[in-house]
Amino acid sequence: MNSIRRSIQKAKKALKYYLNGAAPENNLAVRDLLADIKHYCDAHTIDFYAELETAHRHYTEEVVEARRAKKQRIARCPKAKDKLPRFLHQPKARRRLNTMTDSTQSKQKFLVISYDDDQQQWFYDFVVAASEQAAVDKVCTQRYYVIAADALSPENLSNLAQSLTEETIESIEESERADSNLEVR
């Protein structure tokens, strides 16, 4: 059993008490467990957010390693389809003017932004594909070392630029202050 499957099994055992007969997909059990872990950390002066950040780094490393191993298997089996997850954070809903949807057009242009965590480098590629997911898949296949990618159509990119233009410096700073209040104190 690989390490990710083993991690899933351990998490399932930890969640068993919280599931209380509910379906394993029940998000409430995860929320309750996390809230209780936060209480535990508070009671034992453990920095929950620092541990969460470290856990996220470990998770990302495990996913990257699993993807690299899968990529090596796929190279030997070219008919296998590589479905890569989309990790990049989406813009906040209030700032997003248009959600990404698949178009009925057969080919479209996209800007695909991807990130290589090892080199800590961003890539910006112009791609022609049938959909945003197809554009992301294309870049993730060509740049097998990236851990995250997202696609923007010209319309989405234009909407994003328009949204940035309409925001005032003050409103952006206010949003940044509000976001910083959520960080570790």
CA dihedral over 13, 17, 22, 26, signed as positive or negative: negative
- Residue by residue, DSSP assigns 91-151 as PPTTT--S-----SSS-EEEEEEEEETTTTEEEEEEEEESSHHHHHHHHHHHTTT-SEEEE
Token output for 55: 């856990």
Return the pLDDT at 23: 61
- Please tell me the distance from the alpha carbon of residue 136 to that of residue 123, in angstroms, as a whole number: 12
Q: Which residue has the tokens 């954070």?
A: 89
Q: Report the Cα–Cα distance between both ends of the chain, in Å, rounded.
A: 39
pLDDT of 84 > 60? The answer is: no
3-class secondary-structure state, position 164: helix
pLDDT in tens, 33-67: 889 999 999 999 999 999 999 988 888 888 877 77
Element (H, E) at 18: helix 3-19
Q: Inform me whether the pLDDT recorded for 73 exceeds 90.
A: no
Both tokens of residue 75?
A: 């190279």
Domain borders along the chain are 3-76, 108-180
Whether the pLDDT of residue 94 is over 80: the answer is: no
- Which DSSP letter does residue 89 get? P
Please provide residue 71's backbone torsions phi and psi, each rounded to the nearest 5 degrees.
-60, -40
Structure token digits, residue 19 = 């599931």
Minimum mean pLDDT range among 84-93, 96-105, 165-174: 84-93
Range with top average pLDDT, 80-89, 123-132, 167-176? 123-132
